[in-house]
């Protein structure tokens, strides 16, 4: 602005401030610079305005590649690196829970080896979960990187797992030496199992759960950073695109006045090109921000939450088994079963004070949701029910999960009523049958699969959207510069 | 984690974008951005949060809060404790009159709709306190036909008589402190509520009473924050993990409850997850 004010050549069109936004230079410096590049002559002014336009194209290029780079990084982290890894560590909690459940099963069977799933199958499943746990721990160790606190947690789980296996193996071995019919094993075996299950419940499971939470928080932070830089990037692209257009318009007007020409075709084309490029990049970045949000909030978050809900449900089912296994601790195991049920699907505590209330109120809550999709409950399933669009496939999947969850709870009620009625053997068979639980678990896995599809779909769409921009952006920017130079060159030639 | 790519960034844009994103993050949202910290604690709960005659707050909750605040970068001069009675905990957080509540505050799904909970920093259990010489009560079922203290306004007795249907004879009074005094005088036979609360009273009364270590519930003591402060919540969870890893938790549990018969857990609890 100082430049135009100094110019004696009367009113000139507004030239965008050519000084970079990095810091305001002193007016004296600009004046000296202006004198040096002889802005008093026409070609000098054209050259200066051209330079401004080209620099603006450069800034547009910078802003666009920065924004596109952020989009790419966001997709890479959430879609390909940390996101899937975090989901894999979520399996740790499930695997550990199921290890303990299988040990309880084996002890419960005694010499009736073929009840339910059967002893051999339980032992095989135990080994399989053990190796899944190792794999998930490996992932967790990788995610921990050089974070000391996380590393120590992984280390503690590894150590505890070794201790747990030792206790579990001793309990199973001792149980083999004291054959008993299906039902509670000997007191010595129970004492060993209590030690093992307490270690699992109090030390291993909490740390495994916290590991997933912690790595989930890494994803959340990355997501928020990338998402807000995408939003900022879009503003920058729009701003610099506007600057290019303004600079080009200024050159156009100046040339029109100076040389009495109507339109400079090359410059006009460059202007249109700049508008198109800016719009395309702004739309792209906006879409990418939306896809990232979708992948994170509708995909990743739900997948993680459902994997937790699944593990908690699995351990609640195991608590039903422990309730049968350990008569002394029956009250405690009933209480933890109730607590876990409440964390999966929470019913108002004022009206739901015990498991008996829970069965009754659950029935009403599921019926209410089915007739009019409005969740009166909280917890994991409350979140799912609220997030699902009524009438959609997801809502149908949620309804299915809720119905089968209710079936599972109804069966639990029967098991406990049989125990209260002194029919332990019947209760045992009903528990070991586990059909309702499997059906419920399958519905839950199906719902999680839908969210995973949302996740991978959004990520894939994002990847596709970014394809080609590595080439398109530099080519388009270079084309703009060439058009600008082509536009001013004939005019400058008139002064040679 | 990779950092946002900077290679393509024009130097001018870098400065200004930093400013832009800084603004959009919204200052003052998280307790991490605070200069000083106001912490709500109990004032009448021995062992957990108690205001001494000199006005200072002492107890397990207070020490945990101080440790966490220290890990978040607040010096002792930058934190202030204030009494937060149970019935206003959600309110003071919502109105930001208190930055965090560490006051034997159980995490429940309905409270989670109004408050963001870090932790739990400890999972307490409802348990039973009896006279030291009483060996007849080993679990909650043994309370049948015995005199159980019922504190007006507390729901703990319901877990025994209503949920479990144990036919205990209820003796009503106004405070747990009075319950414990009556227990020692032989006017009631048992007091049932959170074990840390019982242990706090027991520690005051020397060896006159004991906890039977037969838990009948999980009470997840969380740290309440203004709803939505996920950054603060995650930072507190890290601090709590470290509190257990570096042995501070075990030391504090021993400091406040070590003299009692309570068996405490000194490994990190399962966190609730910040939401």
The whole-angstrom distance between A69's CA and the closest CA on chain B is: 6
Q: Residue B221: its pLDDT value, please? A: 96
Contact B24 A335 (CB under 8 A): no
User: Cα separations (Å) of B75 from A348, B36, B60, B71, B93?
Assistant: 40, 9, 19, 9, 22
Residue A35 pLDDT: 59
- Contact (CB, 8 A) for B13 and A228: no
By residue range, what is the domain housing residue A418?
69-238+268-474
In a domain, A470, yes or no: yes
- Chain A residue numbers with beta carbons less than 8 Å from the beta carbon of B24 are 228, 231-232
Question: Cβ contact (<8 Å) for B217 and A335?
Answer: yes
The number of CA neighbours under 13 Å toward the Cβ of A285 is 26
**Six-digit token string for B42:** 């109990």
3-state secondary structure of A183: coil
Q: Does B25 sit within 8 Å of A232, measured CB to CB?
A: no
Chain B residue with Cα closest to A351: B163
Q: Rounded to whole angstroms, how far apart are CA atoms A51 and A329?
A: 82
Which residues are B127's β-sheet partners?
Answer: B193
In which band, very low, low, confident or very high, does the pLDDT at B199 lie, cut at 50, 70 and 90? very high
Interfacial B residues in 121-160 facing A (CB < 8 Å): 139-141, 158-159
| Within-domain flag for A262 | no
Residue B206 main-chain phi, psi, to 5 deg: 65, -135
Q: Which DSSP state fits B202?
A: H
Same fold, B32-124+220-257 and B126-211: yes
Q: Which residues of B touch A66 (CB under 8 A)?
A: 5-6, 8-10, 13, 17
Per-residue tokens: A333: 């195991």
Report how far residue A236's alpha carbon sits from residue A61's, in angstroms, rounded to the nearest whole number. Answer: 10
Between CA A56 and CA A236 the distance in angstroms is 12
Write the class of the CATH domain B126-211: alpha beta
How far is residue A452's CA from residue A90's CA, in Å, rounded to a whole number? Answer: 14
The reported pLDDT for the residue numbered B20 is: 42
Inter-residue contact B234 to B128 (CB < 8 Å):
no
Q: Coil, strand or helix: which one is A50? A: helix
pLDDT given for residue A469 in this prediction: 93
Q: What is the pLDDT of residue B23?
A: 39
* Rounded CA separation A189/A182 (Å): 14
3-state secondary structure of B101: strand
Of B6, B24, B216, the CB nearest to A232: B24
- Judged by a CB distance cut-off of 8 A, whether residue B19 touches chain A is no
Task: Find how far residue A479's CA is from the centre of its chain.
Answer: 39
Q: Is the dihedral of CA B82, B87, B89, B92 positive or negative?
A: negative
Q: Where are the alpha helices (DSSP H) in A345-392?
A: 355-371, 379-387
CB contact under 8 A, A77 and B12: no
Query: Which residues does chain A have within 8 Å of residue B242's beta carbon, measured at their own beta carbons?
Result: 149
**CA separation for the pair B69, B34 (Å, rounded):** 11
Nearest-Cα distance to chain A for B9, in Å, is 5
Per the prediction, chain B carries an average pLDDT of 87
Task: State how far the Cα of A343 lies from the Cα of B109, in Å rounded to an integer.
Answer: 8
Could you say which of A22, A72, A206 has the minimum Cβ distance to residue B270?
Answer: A206
How far off is chain A from B84, nearest CA to CA, in Å? 23
Considering the domain boundaries, does residue A116 fall inside one? yes
* Chain A contact for B266 (CB, 8 A cutoff): no
Number of domains chain A contains? 1
The Cα of B220 is separated from the nearest Cα of chain A by a number of Å equal to 11
CB-CB under 8 Å, B139 with A335:
no
At A12 the pLDDT is 42
Q: Look at A149 and B238 and tell me if their CB atoms are within 8 Å.
A: yes
ipTM: 0.82
Q: Which residues of B touch A73 (CB under 8 A)?
A: 2, 4-5
Q: What is the DSSP letter of B29?
A: S
- The CA distance from A155 to A151, in Å, is 6
Chains A, B: CB contacts within 8 A come to: 141
- Residue A207 inside a domain? The answer is yes
Does residue A8 belong to any structural domain of this protein? no
Q: Do B241 and A336 touch (CB under 8 A)?
A: no
**Nearest C-alpha of chain B: how many angstroms from A88?**
17
pLDDT of residue B14: 38
The torsion region of residue B213 among left (phi > 0), alpha (psi -120 to 50) and beta comes to left
What is the predicted pLDDT for the residue at B4?
40
Report yes or no on A40 lying in a domain. Answer: no
DSSP string, A270-327: HHHHHHHHHHHHHHHHHHHHHHHHIIIIIIIHHHHHHHHHHHHHHHHHHHHHHHHH-G
Closest-CA residue of A relative to B119 is: A210
As a whole number of angstroms, the distance between CA B31 and CA B36 comes to: 9
Is A13 inside any structural domain?
Answer: no
Contacts of B140 in chain A (CB under 8 A): 331
Best of A209, A341, A382 to substitute, by most chain B Cβ atoms within 10 angstroms, is A209
**What DSSP letter does each residue of A91-154 carry, written as one string?**
HHHHHHHHHHHHHHHHHHHTT-TTSTT-HHHHHHHHHHHHHHHHHHHHHHHHHHTT-HHHHHHH
Q: Chain A within 8 Å of B269 (Cβ-Cβ)?
A: yes
Q: Indicate yes or no: CB of A228 within 8 angstroms of CB of B25.
A: yes
Q: Cα torsion at A471, A476, A479, A485 (round to 10°)?
A: -130
B269 vs A contacts (CB less than 8 Å)? 206
Q: Is residue B184 within 8 angstroms of chain A, CB to CB?
A: no
- Give chain A positions within 8 Å (CB) of B270: 205-206, 209-210
Residues 82 to 111 of B: which have CB under 8 A from any A CB?
A: 108-110
Nearest-CA distance B52 → chain A (Å):
34
**Is B4 at the interface with chain A, CB within 8 A?**
yes
Contacts of A297 in chain B (CB under 8 A): none
CATH number of B32-124+220-257: 3.40.190.10
pLDDT > 60? residue B127: yes
B residues 42-81 closer than 8 Å to A (CB): none
Give how far Cα B173 sits from Cα of A125, B45, B129, B191, B192, Å: 53, 17, 16, 11, 13
A454 within a domain of the structure (yes/no):
yes
According to the model, what pLDDT value does residue A29 have?
A: 65
Residues 218-237 of B with CB under 8 A from A: 218, 230-231, 234, 237
- Contact call for B10 and A59, based on CB within 8 A: yes
**Domain locations in chain B as residue ranges:** 32-124+220-257, 126-211
- pLDDT value, residue B215: 85
Subunit contact A218:B215, Cβ cutoff 8 A: no
Burial class (CB in 10 A: 0-12, 13-18, 19+), B145: exposed
Residue B175 scores a pLDDT above 90: no
Q: Is B242 on the interface with A (CB under 8 A)?
A: yes
Find where tokens 């703009």 sit: A480
For A340-344, the CB contacts below 8 A with 24+ separation are A340/A312, A340/A313, A340/A315, A340/A316, A341/A316, A341/A409, A342/A379, A342/B109, A343/A312, A343/A379, A343/A380, A343/B109, A344/A309, A344/A312, A344/A313, A344/A316, A344/A379, A344/A380, A344/A381, A344/A405
Residue B156: pLDDT band (50, 70, 90) is confident
The pLDDT value recorded for residue B8 is 38
Which residue ranges of chain A lie beneath pLDDT 70?
A: 1-39, 496
Task: Quote the strand ranges of B174-245, DSSP E.
Answer: 191-194, 209-211, 219-226
Q: How far is B143 from chain A (nearest CA, A)?
A: 14
How far A257 CA sits from the closest chain B CA (Å)? 33
What are the residues facing B193 on neighbouring strands? B127
């Amino acid at each position: 602005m100082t430049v135009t004010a100094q110019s004696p050549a009367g009113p000139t069109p507004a030239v965008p401030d050519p000084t970079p936004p990095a810091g305001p230079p002193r007016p004296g410096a600009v004046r000296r610079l202006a004198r040096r590049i002889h802005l008093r002559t026409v070609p000098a002014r054209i050259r200066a305005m051209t330079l401004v336009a080209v620099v603006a194209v450069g800034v547009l290029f910078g802003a666009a590649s920065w924004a596109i780079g952020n989009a790419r990084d966001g997709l890479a982290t959430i879609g390909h690196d940390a996101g899937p890894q975090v989901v894999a560590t979520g399996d740790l909690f499930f695997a550990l829970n199921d290890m303990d459940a299988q040990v309880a099963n084996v002890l419960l069977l005694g010499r009736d080896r073929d009840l339910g799933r059967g002893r051999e199958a339980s032992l095989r499943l135990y080994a399989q979960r053990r190796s899944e746990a190792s794999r998930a721990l490996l992932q967790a160790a990788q995610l921990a990187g050089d974070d000391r606190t996380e590393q120590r947690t992984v280390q503690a789980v590894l150590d505890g797992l070794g201790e747990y296996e030792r206790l579990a193996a001793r309990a199973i071995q001792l149980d083999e030496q004291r054959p008993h019919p299906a039902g509670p094993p000997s007191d010595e075996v129970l004492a060993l199992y209590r030690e093992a299950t307490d270690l699992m419940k109090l030390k291993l499971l909490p740390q495994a759960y916290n590991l997933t939470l912690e790595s989930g928080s890494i994803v959340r932070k990355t997501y928020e950073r990338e998402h807000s830089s995408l939003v900022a990037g879009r503003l920058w692209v729009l701003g610099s695109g506007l600057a290019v257009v303004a600079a080009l318009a200024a050159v156009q007007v100046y040339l029109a006045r100076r040389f009495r020409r109507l339109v400079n075709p090359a410059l006009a084309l460059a202007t249109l090109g700049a508008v198109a490029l800016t719009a395309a990049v702004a739309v792209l970045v906006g879409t990418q921000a939306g896809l990232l949000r979708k992948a994170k909030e509708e995909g990743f978050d739900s997948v993680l939450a459902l994997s937790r809900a699944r593990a908690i449900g699995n351990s609640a089912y195991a608590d039903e088994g422990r309730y049968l296994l350990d008569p002394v601790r029956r009250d405690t195991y009933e209480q933890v079963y109730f607590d876990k049920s409440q964390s999966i699907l929470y019913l108002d505590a004022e009206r739901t004070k015990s498991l008996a209330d829970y069965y009754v109120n659950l029935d009403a809550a599921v019926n209410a949701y089915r007739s009019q999709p409005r969740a009166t409950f909280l917890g994991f399933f409350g979140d799912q029910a609220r997030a699902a669009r009524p009438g959609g496939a997801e809502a149908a999947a949620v309804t299915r999960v809720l119905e089968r969850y209710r079936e599972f709870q109804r069966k639990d009620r029967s098991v406990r009523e049989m125990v209260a009625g002194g029919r332990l053997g019947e209760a045992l068979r009903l528990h070991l049958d586990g059909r309702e639980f499997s059906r419920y678990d399958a519905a839950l896995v199906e719902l999680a699969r839908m969210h995973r599809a949302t996740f991978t779909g959004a990520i894939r769409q994002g990847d596709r959207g970014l394809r080609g921009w590595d080439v398109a952006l530099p080519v388009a920017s270079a084309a703009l510069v060439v058009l600008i130079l082509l536009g001013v060159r004939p005019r400058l030639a008139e002064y040679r | 984690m990779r950092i946002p790519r900077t290679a393509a960034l024009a130097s001018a844009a870098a400065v200004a974008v930093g400013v832009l994103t800084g603004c959009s993050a919204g200052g003052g949202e998280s307790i991490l951005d605070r200069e000083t910290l106001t912490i709500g604690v109990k004032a009448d709960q021995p062992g957990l949060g108690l205001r001494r005659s000199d006005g200072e707050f002492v107890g397990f909750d207070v020490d945990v809060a101080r440790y966490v605040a220290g890990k978040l970068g607040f010096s002792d001069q930058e934190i202030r404790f204030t009494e937060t009675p149970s019935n206003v905990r959600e309110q003071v957080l919502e109105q930001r009159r208190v930055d965090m509540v560490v006051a034997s505050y159980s995490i429940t799904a309905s409270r989670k709709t109004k408050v963001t909970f870090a932790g739990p920093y400890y999972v307490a259990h409802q348990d039973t306190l009896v006279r030291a010489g009483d060996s007849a009560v080993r679990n909650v079922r043994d309370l049948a036909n015995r005199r159980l203290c019922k504190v007006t306004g507390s729901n703990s007795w319901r877990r025994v008589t209503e949920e479990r249907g144990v036919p205990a004879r209820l003796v009503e009074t106004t405070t747990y402190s009075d319950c414990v005094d009556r227990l020692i005088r032989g006017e009631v036979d048992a007091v049932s509520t959170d074990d840390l609360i019982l242990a706090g009273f027991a520690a005051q009364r020397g060896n006159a009473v004991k906890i039977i270590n037969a838990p009948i519930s999980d009470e997840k003591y969380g740290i309440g924050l203004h709803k939505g402060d996920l950054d603060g919540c995650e930072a507190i969870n890290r601090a709590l993990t470290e509190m257990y890893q570096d042995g501070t938790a075990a030391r504090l549990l021993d400091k406040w409850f070590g003299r009692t018969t309570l068996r405490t857990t000194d490994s990190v609890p399962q966190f609730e997850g910040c939401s």
